């Protein structure tokens, strides 16, 4: 059994992840900003932790992380506001990485997206540009850290029930169910072969456990 902290605990991927982790016997704390979401968190078998990661400094985040075996970052500003996107998707994410090192929480799984890379080539006048920059820069900070990281790059998210199968070999983003993204994150936490890797994936034909070991 592991003790896992999920940051961004009320997102649709996060809620499914919390359920999967709780069902396999892990102790799960889910960080949420809105206390009204606590009931949804507790329905998954996780414990709600009310905190605003956008405003917490590294020491405050280290206090949240202390005593956990792993952290999963699944938070995001949701786009729309460039300043807040940078504040959450980059600044807060980076502080959480630094806090994990400070708190001695070595295992860190980042839920990113398929196209996250420094050379993303998103046009400067695109509304998506600020998100692409924030995610790419945060992922680079994680790669440069001393953490045992895994960066997950799911393709376009869909609302299907999940198939339990993915493809990690495709070079272009297609789609993948949120349920499968959650299952990939859960499996990554217990699969040593995912440490130190960026794993981009689509819906596919390979069972998730086999795909992550490959």
Catalytically annotated residues:
131
Q: What angle do CA 46, 69, 76 make, to 5 degrees?
A: 60
Strands (E), 100-191: 107-111, 148-154, 157-158, 165-167, 176-177
Q: Which of 46, 99, 96 is nearest to 76 (CA)?
A: 96
193 Cβ contact list (under 8 Å, min separation 6): 212, 213
Three-state DSSP class for 111?
strand
* Phi-psi category of residue 125: left, alpha or beta, with phi > 0 → left and psi -120 to 50 → alpha: alpha
């Amino acid at each position: 059994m592991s003790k896992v902290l999920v940051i961004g605990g009320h997102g649709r991927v996060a809620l499914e992840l919390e359920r999967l982790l709780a069902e396999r016997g892990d102790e799960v704390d889910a960080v949420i900003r809105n206390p009204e979401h606590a009931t949804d968190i507790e329905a998954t078998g996780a414990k709600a932790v009310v905190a605003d990661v956008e405003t917490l400094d590294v020491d405050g985040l280290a206090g949240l992380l202390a005593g956990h075996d792993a952290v999963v970052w699944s938070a995001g500003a949701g786009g729309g506001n460039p300043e807040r996107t940078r504040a959450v998707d980059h600044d807060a994410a980076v502080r959480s990485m630094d806090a994990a090192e400070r708190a001695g929480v070595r295992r860190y799984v980042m839920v990113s997206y398929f196209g996250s890379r420094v050379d993303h080539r998103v046009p400067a006048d695109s509304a998506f540009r600020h998100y692409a920059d924030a995610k790419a820069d945060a992922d680079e900070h994680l790669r440069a850290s001393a953490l045992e990281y895994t960066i997950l790059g799911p393709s376009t998210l869909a609302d299907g029930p999940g198939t339990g199968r993915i493809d990690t070999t495709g070079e272009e983003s297609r789609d993948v169910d949120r349920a499968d993204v959650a299952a990939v994150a859960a499996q990554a936490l217990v699969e040593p072969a995912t440490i130190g890797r960026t794993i981009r994936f689509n819906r596919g034909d390979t069972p998730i456990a086999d795909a992550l070991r490959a």
